[in-house]
Structure 1
Amino acid sequence: MKRLLDLSLGLILGIVFLIPILFVGLLVRLTSRGSALYWSERVGRGNSIFRMPKFRTMKTNTPAVATHLLHNAEQFLTPIGGFLRKTSLDELPQLFSIIKGDMSFVGPRPALFNQDDLISLRTQKGVHVLTPGLTGWAQINGRDELPITIKVKYDEYYLNNQSFLLDLKILLLTLVKVLRSEGVQH
């Protein structure tokens, strides 16, 4: 049932957001060198690796690490990168990953392939069996500001309490957080 909802909603939102996606892609290309999309290697269900698209917010020479690990991350942002991150518009291409089935609308955010501590702790807690999400329980409870141990506790809570109503609550609270730009690291 969840997969059917992801696919249906993903296709509808893909059509609704087609013009904004094309516009943001064009803006990224016009304001910085390189591709409009950045394909990030992420850890999916069962710890399998998949390539997740995002609009590129960082310069092409940026190391492939979590933003919070970069010294002076602002120096790597493209001219519109901060805005795209603050508004979460950089996440729009992930609709493709949801339609493809690599992601869901709700689940733990997919870890970077090299976030060994996060991957290990999620595996230990059984969270790795979930399909990663565009948003999740940890996202609405702190987003980028959470330490990994707390993030995994929220992911484990979601694993043990999954329901349509919890997903709906997470989606609605995500919309509020995005509109307020809460918990975003630039």
Structure 2
Amino acid sequence: MSEPHPAIAPSRSIRRAPYDRLKRLLDIVGASLLLLLTAPLMAVVALLVAVSLGRPVLFHQCRAGRYGRPFELVKFRTMHPPAPDRGRVGDGDRLTPVGRWLRATSLDELPTLWNVLRGEMSLVGPRPLLPEYLERYSPTQARRHEVRPGVTGLAQVRGRNSLSWEDKLDLDVRYVDGRSLRVDLSILAATVRTVLRREGITAEGNATAPEFLGTPGRTAPAQRDRTPV
């Protein structure tokens, strides 16, 4: 397993909810059942992606997991790769019609269930973000990495990409402090409603969400020694 990020390494001061062990068991059972139930659907989606975008049908990207440990997120492809001869091209220009539909229905997220099964993610938690964001969080915002990132989360059912980065990160920390079985079940139920209504898919002026550049006036997490558990 890779080393934790120095600013978010596990320490004895990090609160571990009594629910965490049960949460991992529910993740394993839930992800296994969902992978079995959605296998035919994933085969159809893979075929659509192969026809519209070609191969590979899966998108792999490094993301920051629990304690900032990097892992490889896997999703269905929704965009054409950047063309070196075309300069910087926005996500909106690279998205295909099939890709827009997959994002709107969240079907592109189905392969992340493998990340859950491998223990890199949870069914519910803060969304996994890019590793370069780790140096841009305030100390409070960095606490979102005290738990495994989730396929869905509190910020996703409270507005998703329509929220500002500050609001999303604040909701992530609220989830970390209040996580419980009741909270997770309510978020999963709300996720179904959000997906069916196709709410918060894009941020204003962006095909997905803008880059997080940090919050002005907030100090990034200091590099500090922590005693591993």
TM-score normalised by structure 1 residue count: 0.89
Over 3 Å counting, the alpha-carbon distance change for 1:125 and 1:33 in structure 2 is closer
Q: Where do 1:1-186 residues align within 5 Å? A: 1-61=22-82, 72-116=90-134, 120-121=137-138, 124-185=141-202, 186=207
Relative contact order (C-alpha < 8 Å, sep 6+): which is higher? 2
Q: How many residues align?
A: 179
1:181 CA displacement: 0.3
Distance 1:108 1:102 in 2: 12
Alpha-carbon separation, structure 1, partners of 2:40 and 2:46:
10
Unaligned runs of 5+ in 1: 64-69
One-letter code of the match for 2:95?
A: L
Contact 1:43 1:113 in 2 (8 A): yes
Q: Which runs of 4+ in 1 moved over 6 A?
A: none
**Structure 1 residues 74 and 127, CA, compared in 2 at 3 Å: closer, same or farther?**
closer
Deviation of 1:34 after TM superposition, in Å, equals 3.2
Work out whether residues 143 and 184 of structure 1, in 8 Å CA contact, stay in contact via their aligned partners in 2. yes
Q: Give the 3-state SS of the residue equivalent to 2:59 in structure 1.
A: strand
> Is the 2:68–2:134 Cα contact (8 Å) retained in structure 1?
no
Cα RMSD for the two superposed structures: 1.9
> What's the offset of the Cα at 1:71?
6.3
Equivalent-residue separation in structure 2 for 1:138 and 1:107 (angstroms)? 9
CA contact (8 A) 1:32 1:79 kept: no
2:154, 2:175 within 8 Å by CA — same for their partners in 1?
yes
Deviation of 1:152 (Å): 1.2
Gaps of 5+ in 2: 1-21, 208-229
3-state SS in 2 of match to 1:52: strand
Largest Rg, 1 or 2: 2
Q: Please, what TM-score do these two structures have when normalized by structure 2?
A: 0.73
Corresponding residue number in structure 2 for 1:66:
none
Contact 2:82-2:89 within 8 A present in 1 as well: no
* Deviation at residue 172 of structure 1 after TM alignment: 0.3
Identity percentage of aligned residues: 39
Between Structure 1 and Structure 2, which shows a larger proportion of helix residues? Answer: 1
Cα separation, 2, equivalents of 1:173 and 1:71: 34
